[in-house]
């Protein structure tokens, strides 16, 4: 995959959990609310259908404000890759003002760990810059830390 530094924001981390478990956390409704937004914000609703064209819908509570994020999966490779976007909604309906496409990669690392890569791909440099200014690295970094903690709890 060719990345464009003007459009793509990238976060890489080694996570102390196996990739199959991280993939499960990302693709099952019972798990996603436990890590998907930085605390104290929370996911109040999610609907996931992890297949090409399936829905990826989340609703957040951010400081008392409800925020909806509706989209679809573009690619799903079990235990390896998830691609979802808000460019389309259920039934391949075009969204009026899309923000980004997310790519999450899971690769084996030593000792049962996972090389975790999250990419936020934007339509313009302005949207990428706005996402960076919103705190992409801190926010997505917090999410992966919460994901690691949650996954480790599932391993016990």
Give SS3 for 22: helix
Model pTM score: 0.95
Report whether 55 contacts 47 (CB < 8 A): yes
pLDDT score, position 24: 98
Per-residue confidence band for 10, with pLDDT thresholds at 50, 70 and 90: very high
Percent of the chain with pLDDT over 70: 100
Distance, CA of 15 to CA of 94 (rounded, Å): 34
Tokens at residue 103, please? Answer: 């790519």
In the predicted model, is pLDDT for residue 156 greater than 90?
no
The full set of domain ranges for the chain reads 8-155
* Per-residue pLDDT reduced to its tens digit, 102-119: 999 999 999 999 999 999
Q: Answer whether CATH 3.30.530.20 is correct for domain 8-155.
A: yes
Tell me the angle at which helices 19-27 and 136-155 cross, rounded to the nearest 10 degrees.
Answer: 110
Distance, CA of 151 to CA of 105 (rounded, Å): 16
């Amino acid at each position: 995959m060719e990345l464009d530094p003007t459009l793509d924001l990238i976060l890489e981390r080694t996570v102390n959990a196996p990739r199959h478990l991280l993939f499960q956390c990302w693709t099952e409704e019972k798990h996603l609310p436990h890590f998907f937004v930085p605390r104290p914000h929370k996911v109040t609703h999610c609907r996931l259908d992890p297949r090409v064209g399936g829905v990826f819908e989340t609703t957040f509570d951010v400081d008392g404000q409800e925020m909806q994020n509706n989209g679809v999966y573009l690619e799903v490779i079990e235990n390896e890759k998830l691609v979802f976007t808000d460019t389309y909604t259920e039934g391949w309906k075009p969204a009026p003002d899309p923000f980004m496409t997310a790519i999450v990669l899971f690769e084996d690392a030593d000792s049962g760990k996972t090389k975790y890569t999250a990419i936020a791909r934007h339509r313009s440099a302005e949207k990428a810059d706005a996402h960076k200014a919103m705190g992409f690295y801190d926010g997505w970094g917090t999410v992966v830390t919460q994901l690691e903690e949650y996954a480790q709890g599932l391993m016990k």
